[in-house]
Amino acid sequence: WGDTGSAIFTAWRAEDLSALRKRADCLRCGLDFGYAGDPAAAILAHYDRRNKRLYILDELYLRGLSNDGLAARLKAFAGGCPVVCDSAEPKSIAELRRLGVRAHPARKGPDSVLHGIQWLRQHEMVVDARLTHIKEELANYRWRKDSRGQAMPIPEPGQDHLIDALRYAMEGDSQGRQAKFN
């Protein structure tokens, strides 16, 4: 981890993905819950497994929405794709399902954050140029530093809501399994 520059993600770029958005398949969607202080953050991505490339096509970054309001936005956003959600809120996941969102809990475990970050770092990421929040998160996500100023394998907490949503969206692929949803 050594580098005191400590940026977690460096292999990403922004470009116009409007043409890809219209024809993409293999869509992945993830959701990090939030309400007031932290936003509800969702990501929509296309995964090109052969070229180890993630295309981040769209983002939602919303504060103050009830689960009813969030469900309405997610249904339009995800277009019927399954939405892998932060498993810390099973009641919210159940409510989203009741409201017609194909919501499923992320499978968290020991070191799942670090594992997801490491998997994402093995891929080039191309972000739609119009997306502001994910570009800001990718540019500013850093490893925590120890007392000597050396980067540790622990991310700094804070503005990582869309990155968390991206980890959830890609968890089936990162765990070597094809995600299966009802």
Tally of structural domains, the chain = 1
Q: Please state the rounded mean pLDDT for residues 43-72.
A: 96
Is 179 a domain residue?
A: no
Written as one letter, the residue type at 10 is T
pLDDT tens, residue by residue, 75-106 = 999 999 999 999 999 999 999 999 999 999 99
pLDDT tens, residue by residue, 45-56 = 999 999 999 999
CATH number of the domain residue 33 falls in: 3.30.420.280
Is 117 a domain residue?
A: yes
Is 73 a domain residue?
A: yes
Is 167 a domain residue?
A: yes
Is 5 a domain residue?
A: no
82: containing domain: 12-173
Residue recorded with tokens 């997306």: 131
* DSSP result, 43-70: EEEEEETTTTEEEEEEEEEESS--HHHH
pLDDT tens, residue by residue, 125-136 = 999 999 999 999
Q: Where is pLDDT greater, at 159 or 181?
A: 159
Is 102 a domain residue?
A: yes
The answer for residues whose C-beta is within 8 angstroms of residue 38's C-beta and 6 or more apart is: 32, 161
| pLDDT band at residue 174 using 50, 70 and 90 as cut-offs | confident
Task: Indicate the pTM of the whole model.
Answer: 0.92
Is 121 a domain residue?
A: yes
Q: Which of 27-36, 66-75, 149-158 has the lowest mean pLDDT?
A: 149-158
Is 180 a domain residue?
A: no
| pLDDT band at residue 20 using 50, 70 and 90 as cut-offs | very high
Give yes or no for residue 160 having a pLDDT over 70. yes
